[in-house]
Amino acid sequence: MIRIILIVVLAVVGGLAYAWYSSQTLPDWYQAPVHTSSSAPAAQSNAQQSTRTYQQTPQSRAVEQLTDTINKQGIGAFLGSKFAGVMRGQLELSETEFNALMIASLQADPDGRKLLSVSDALNAQIRQGELELGVILDLNKVAQLDKRAHEAVAQVRDALPFLDQSKMAIAVTGQPVARNGEIGFTDDFTVTIGSIPLSSSLLSQLGVPVHKARSASLELKYLTVNSVTLAPQAIQLGVLPRF
């Protein structure tokens, strides 16, 4: 998944004169840390050692608290609070609950932990009838994954020589679907890098392996997902329990 993201980034920044500015645009749900004293470098170093390096919004604080609860009590305990609905094959989650369940599920998966290790923040939200999954990548962390990732990040920085920060926002937006018991997107999704939106068809023309992105999906721990429906500020899932 990380390599697919980097391929998309390289395809976008190559030859785009305005990519330098647009790629640095960060979403409104993310608030980068602000250092106001002479001890800022030390503060930044401490922040980088933490699992959270950004200023929290009320939404992100609620997600973190619920994720902590899920990790301490187990996802099963969280789903147990919705036992009646799950046994009927129905599960409705608020955006906060979906974010917490998504992060807890990623933490339980080797590939998910790799994504979390190079991300400053993740966020899922419903926007204009579509689901948006966003991530703030830390290119410094990505470069440390392996040799190929290091070379890919070097290419990004060569293409954007004036890049003055290591953070880059990537978002995938589209209609969610159930795929093999997990959550994926329909084929006509959009990828946004900073403020640059790219349709899946354009990505394909740029040489991005869209078929790999189309087959990517999110597993929700203890659940087999049979259907996905978006409601205002809520996600309704048709599920089977996998306790």
The first and second tokens of residue 217, run together, are 């999906």
- Read off φ and ψ for residue 148, nearest 5 degrees: -65, -40
Q: Which residue has the higher pLDDT, 14 or 147?
A: 147
pLDDT at residue 48 is higher than 60: no
Question: pLDDT, tens digit, for every residue of 67-100?
Answer: 888 888 877 778 888 888 888 999 999 999 999 9
**Calpha distance 22→163 (Å, rounded):** 11
Instruction: Quote the mean pLDDT of the chain.
Output: 78
pLDDT class of 46 with cuts at 50, 70, 90: very low
Mean pLDDT of 26-33: 76
State how beta strands 234-241 and 223-231 pair: antiparallel
Question: pLDDT, tens digit, for every residue of 154-175?
Answer: 877 776 665 656 788 889 999 9
The first and second tokens of residue 17, run together, are 């004169």
pLDDT class of 241 with cuts at 50, 70, 90: confident
pLDDT at residue 203 is higher than 80: no
Task: Decide if 97 contacts 91 (C-beta within 8 A).
Answer: no
Give the amino acid at 228: V
In this structure, of 153-162, 218-227, 233-242, the range with the lowest mean pLDDT score is 153-162
Q: Which residue has the higher pLDDT, 182 or 211?
A: 182
pLDDT class of 6 with cuts at 50, 70, 90: low
Collapse the DSSP code of 11 into the 3-class scheme (helix H, G, I; strand E, B; otherwise coil) and give the result: helix
- In this prediction, residue 235 carries a pLDDT of 96
* Selection from 48-62, 119-133, 134-148 with the highest mean pLDDT: 119-133
pLDDT class of 215 with cuts at 50, 70, 90: confident
Q: Where are the alpha helices (DSSP H) in the chain?
A: 2-13, 19-22, 40-49, 58-73, 75-80, 83-87, 95-107, 110-117, 139-143, 147-159, 200-205, 210-215
Task: Decide if 112 contacts 105 (C-beta within 8 A).
Answer: yes
- In this prediction, residue 202 carries a pLDDT of 79
pLDDT at residue 227 is higher than 90: yes
